[in-house]
Homo-oligomer: A and B are copies of this chain.
Amino acid sequence: MAKRPGPAQRPAVISIDAMGGDLGPKAVVSGMAISASKNPDIKFIVHGHGPKLSELVARKRVLDGRVEIRHADDVVSMDDKPSHVMRHGKGTSMWSALEAVRAGEAETCLSCGNTGALMALSMVRLRKLPGVNRPAIAILWPSRNPGGFNVMLDVGADIRAEAQDLHQYALMGMSYARNGLGLQRPRVGILNVGTEEHKGRPELHEAHDIIAASADANKYEFVGFVEGGDIPSNRVDVIVTDGFTGNVALKTAEGTASFISEALRTAFQATPLSKIAALLAMTSLRRLKKRIDPRRVNGGVFLGLNGTVVKSHGSADATGVSAAIKLSWDLAQTGFSDRLAARLASTQSTGQSVNKTEAGLTPEKTDQGI
- Find out whether the CB atom of B248 lies under 8 angstroms from the CB atom of A193: yes
Q: Chain A: interface secondary structure?
A: helix
Contact partner of A229 (CB less than 8 A), chosen from B251, B264, B281, is B251
- Find out whether the CB atom of B268 lies under 8 angstroms from the CB atom of A255: no
Which residue in chain B gives the minimum CB-CB distance to A144? Answer: B259
Contact with B along A318-353 (1 / 0, CB 8 A): 000000000000000000000000000000000000
Query: Bound complex: CA of A292 vs CA of B247, how far in Å?
Result: 23
Query: Bound complex: CA of A243 vs CA of B200, how far in Å?
Result: 10
Query: Bound complex: CA of A321 vs CA of B370, how far in Å?
Result: 51
Q: Is A124 an interface residue (CB 8 A)?
A: no
Q: Is A254 an interface residue (CB 8 A)?
A: yes
- Find out whether the CB atom of A250 lies under 8 angstroms from the CB atom of B228: yes
Chain B residues with Cβ below 8 Å from A227 are 248, 251
- Find out whether the CB atom of A193 lies under 8 angstroms from the CB atom of B254: no
Query: Bound complex: CA of A270 vs CA of B354, how far in Å?
Result: 48
Q: Is A37 an interface residue (CB 8 A)?
A: no
Q: Is A368 an interface residue (CB 8 A)?
A: no
* A31 CB to nearest chain B CB (Å): 24
Binds B, one of A19-27, A67-75, A272-280: A272-280
Q: Is A156 an interface residue (CB 8 A)?
A: yes
- Find out whether the CB atom of A193 lies under 8 angstroms from the CB atom of B259: no
- Find out whether the CB atom of B291 lies under 8 angstroms from the CB atom of A284: no
* A191 CB to nearest chain B CB (Å): 6
- Find out whether the CB atom of B230 lies under 8 angstroms from the CB atom of A255: yes
* A258 CB to nearest chain B CB (Å): 7
- Find out whether the CB atom of A248 lies under 8 angstroms from the CB atom of B228: yes
Query: Bound complex: CA of A160 vs CA of B203, how far in Å?
Result: 13
Chain B residues with Cβ below 8 Å from A144 are 259, 262
Residue among A227, A230, A233, A270 with most chain B CB within 10 A: A227
Which residue in chain B gives the minimum CB-CB distance to A287? Answer: B267
How many copies of this kind of chain does the complex include?
A: 2
- Find out whether the CB atom of B254 lies under 8 angstroms from the CB atom of A271: no
* A306 CB to nearest chain B CB (Å): 26
Q: Is A361 an interface residue (CB 8 A)?
A: no
* A254 CB to nearest chain B CB (Å): 6
Chain B residues with Cβ below 8 Å from A196 are 79
Residue among A244, A258, A283 with most chain B CB within 10 A: A244
Known: A260-B292, A263-B288, A285-B267. A229 touches B244 (CB 8 A): no
- Find out whether the CB atom of B255 lies under 8 angstroms from the CB atom of A232: yes
A79-B196, A193-B248, A249-B252 known, 19 other contacts, Cβ within 8 Å: A81-B198, A159-B193, A159-B200, A193-B244, A227-B251, A228-B247, A230-B255, A232-B255, A232-B256, A232-B259, A233-B255, A245-B245, A257-B260, A264-B264, A267-B284, A267-B285, A268-B281, A277-B280, A277-B281
Of the A-B pairs whose beta carbons lie under 8 Å apart in the complex, a sample of 30, sorted by A's number, is A144-B259, A144-B262, A159-B200, A193-B243, A193-B244, A201-B244, A228-B249, A228-B250, A229-B258, A231-B252, A231-B255, A232-B255, A244-B245, A248-B248, A249-B249, A252-B252, A252-B256, A253-B253, A256-B260, A257-B260, A263-B288, A263-B291, A267-B284, A273-B283, A274-B281, A274-B283, A276-B280, A277-B277, A277-B280, A278-B284
